[in-house]
Chain A
Amino acid sequence: MRKAAWTVTAWAVGIVFVFPVLWMVLTGFKREQDAASNPPAWLFHPTLDQYRQIFGRNVTPYLLNSLMASGFSTLLVLVLATPAAYALSMRPVGKWRDALFFFISTKMLPAVAALLPIYLVVKQLGMLDNIWTMVILYTAMNLPLAVWMMRSFLLEVPRSVVEAAAVDGAGLGLTIRKVIGPIVSPGIAATALICFIFAWNEFFFAVNLTATRSGTAPIFLVGFISSEGLFLARLCAAATLVSLPVLLAGWLAQNKLVRGLSMGAVK
């Protein structure tokens, strides 16, 4: 009986939380008039008009730009953060506390205040509307979190195991591949996923630093807001579309995410 109540509660809460997203998906299949009807239309003739409009605007370059910016920045973050995390955990530098605090503190600077100088510097370097600018900025944006997370995961690697491997004559490369790698791989996956999500969803820098060539998915999304006409249905369709890649990735990798966030302790 209690289990039944538990199940019902959990399902109810789950549905409440997902409902706005469900509504968004539904609205994307409505006509504009139905989307803006009062009271909200629960029954309607589904239409693909909105999606037709979206693909009529050629969404592909935006998605590719987002994929590039998110993918490369995530890769770069991992390449930079993993050794740094190693130097802050397994074989720590003397002032690892200060170094770690420095990384975290860079995350505390308000992005809005940084935009103006970044814009001016980027403009001076001739790097406006360039996807590599976004790669670099997203890397900087996600680096602190990645260092922090990777450090936690590396701390979970039993030192004795590493030392045992060294005694057995395994080189550093082999140790990393055979000993450390398997233990921290869910952590790497979780870090990569979170960095990818934050980069994919970033709007503020993208809207101010890109133009026609390297606009990312959120820029495409807001292009459907109109100050002279109805737009809710097509906006919802566009929102569904641009959120889809991250939604799928998140759903598929959620086990890794929970395992990764539990810092290797669940085993």
Chain B
Amino acid sequence: MTQAIATGAAPAGARAVTQPKRADARDRWARRLPLLPALIFAIIVTQVPFLVTLYLSTLGWNALRPGERHFVGLANYASVLTDARLRAALVNTIVLTAGAVLVSLLLGLGLAVLLDRRFPGRSVVRTLLITPFLVMPMAAALLWKHAIYNPAYGLINGLLGGHTDWVSSYPMVAVVATLVWQWTPFMMLILLAGLQSQSEEVLEAARVDGASARQVFTHMTLPHLRQYLELGALLGSIYLVQTFDAVFTITQGGPGTATTNLPYEIYLTTFRKFEYGEAAAAGVVVVIGTIVVATFALRVISSLFRMEEGR
């Protein structure tokens, strides 16, 4: 099986080189054709709004003052880049994303290990564990805010007693906990898939050779899981960096600006200040920032690419 896959991606290109030029070109087109519909679709639906954003970012346009729309050049960028709120929002975004991704990965790993063994009712437990991922995020955020964190009638204070106001005392933890609850099952599924793809014979052989369970886990399972951990971290970051529902619902970005992340800050500029030009400029800045970060993330992706080719 491993052999068969090894003949996959990479050699295909190599073989093409040996063919005549004309056939080569035709072949390239035959290869490209299936890609085009998706590519064109993605370009139109995602890049057109981006071009519009670029255009908007050069306008002084407050929607609440009709008739005052005018070209301001790069003035919006100046006010965005000097805005301390945006920098605070950046820090919050990083803390929120990193916190939620790391904790849900770790918990997900624990749960995946737990589920990798046979025990009575395993499939039921798995069903219970994936449930949070299936609940609508808006519903989850509302549930946590009103039914769980509420200081007067919330579940936590109901179980532990006391009158702690969880959301204002630990706003970031409250948001991250909600996200972790939702995303741990996703991480668990990916890691469980990783665990179950380990060759049972190899593990058995290691045990026969006298390796302890801990040794097997740290020296064999974890390295094997690395790709899956990276995949989980990548997908988790992509989705969690855009967290909006939870912030909007649970804390409204507060208290103060303690949990205002970039998406929420841009939302405030768009829907509370109605400074469309400024919001667009902030959007462009975030996109550029994301591309920079994504280039770093590309390293992670590249290692995933390699993994697939290498097999």
In the complex they form, whether A and B have CB atoms below 8 Å apart is answered with yes
Flag if A92 contacts B12 (CB, 8 Å): yes
Residue on B nearest A122 in the bound complex, by CB: B49
Query: Which residues of chain A are within 8 angstroms of B283 by Cβ–Cβ distance?
Result: 110, 112-114, 116
The proximity string for B residues 113-149 relative to A, scoring 1 for CB distances below 8 Å and 0 otherwise, is 0110101111011111111111111111011101110
Determine the distance from Cα of A84 to Cα of B36 in the docked complex, in whole angstroms. 7
Q: State the interface size on chain B (CB cutoff 8 A).
A: 106
Interface size for chain A: under 10, 10 to 19, 20 to 34, or 35 or more residues?
A: 35 or more
Give, as a whole number of angstroms, the nearest-CB distance from A199 to chain B.
Answer: 11
Flag if B138 contacts A111 (CB, 8 Å): no
* Residues 193-239 of A contacting B (Cβ, < 8 Å): 197, 200-201, 203-204, 217-218, 221-222, 225, 232, 235-236, 239
Residue on B nearest A254 in the bound complex, by CB: B130
Residue on A nearest B302 in the bound complex, by CB: A97
Flag if B263 contacts A112 (CB, 8 Å): yes
Flag if A38 contacts B158 (CB, 8 Å): yes
Query: Which residues of chain A are within 8 angstroms of B135 by Cβ–Cβ distance?
Result: 21, 24, 239, 243, 246-247
The proximity string for A residues 8-39 relative to B, scoring 1 for CB distances below 8 Å and 0 otherwise, is 01110111011011011001000000011111
Interface assignment of A250: CB less than 8 Å from any CB of chain B = yes
Known: A17-B185, A140-B41. Contact between A152 and B308, CB under 8 A? yes
Residue among A99, A104, A114, A249 making CB contact with B39, cutoff 8 Å? A99
Flag if B290 contacts A110 (CB, 8 Å): yes
Interface assignment of B291: CB less than 8 Å from any CB of chain A = yes
Residue on A nearest B184 in the bound complex, by CB: A17
Determine the distance from Cα of A258 to Cα of B192 in the docked complex, in whole angstroms. 7
Determine the distance from Cα of A204 to Cα of B111 in the docked complex, in whole angstroms. 31
| Dominant secondary structure of chain B at its interface with chain A | helix
Interface assignment of A167: CB less than 8 Å from any CB of chain B = no
Flag if B41 contacts A80 (CB, 8 Å): yes
Determine the distance from Cα of A147 to Cα of B36 in the docked complex, in whole angstroms. 13
Give, as a whole number of angstroms, the nearest-CB distance from B235 to chain A.
Answer: 7
| Dominant secondary structure of chain A at its interface with chain B | helix
* Residues 236-267 of A contacting B (Cβ, < 8 Å): 236, 239, 242-243, 246-247, 249-251, 254, 257-259, 261-263, 265-266
Determine the distance from Cα of A139 to Cα of B41 in the docked complex, in whole angstroms. 9
Flag if A17 contacts B194 (CB, 8 Å): no
Query: Which residues of chain B are within 8 angstroms of A174 by Cβ–Cβ distance?
Result: none
Determine the distance from Cα of A37 to Cα of B192 in the docked complex, in whole angstroms. 40
Interface assignment of B267: CB less than 8 Å from any CB of chain A = yes
Query: Which residues of chain A are within 8 angstroms of B114 by Cβ–Cβ distance?
Result: 6, 9-10, 13
29 CB < 8 A contacts A-B: A7-B119, A13-B111, A14-B125, A17-B185, A20-B132, A20-B181, A23-B143, A23-B155, A35-B153, A91-B12, A93-B32, A94-B13, A105-B291, A109-B46, A112-B244, A112-B266, A112-B267, A115-B270, A121-B48, A140-B46, A158-B4, A159-B5, A161-B4, A221-B139, A222-B142, A232-B147, A243-B136, A258-B192, A263-B193
Given A143-B42, A201-B137, A239-B136, 10 more A-B residue pairs with CB atoms under 8 Å apart are A79-B37, A80-B38, A80-B41, A94-B28, A108-B294, A113-B263, A121-B49, A221-B139, A254-B126, A262-B192
Rank and list the top 5 A-B pairs by shortest CB-CB distance, nearest first: A113-B283, A262-B193, A83-B34, A158-B4, A117-B52
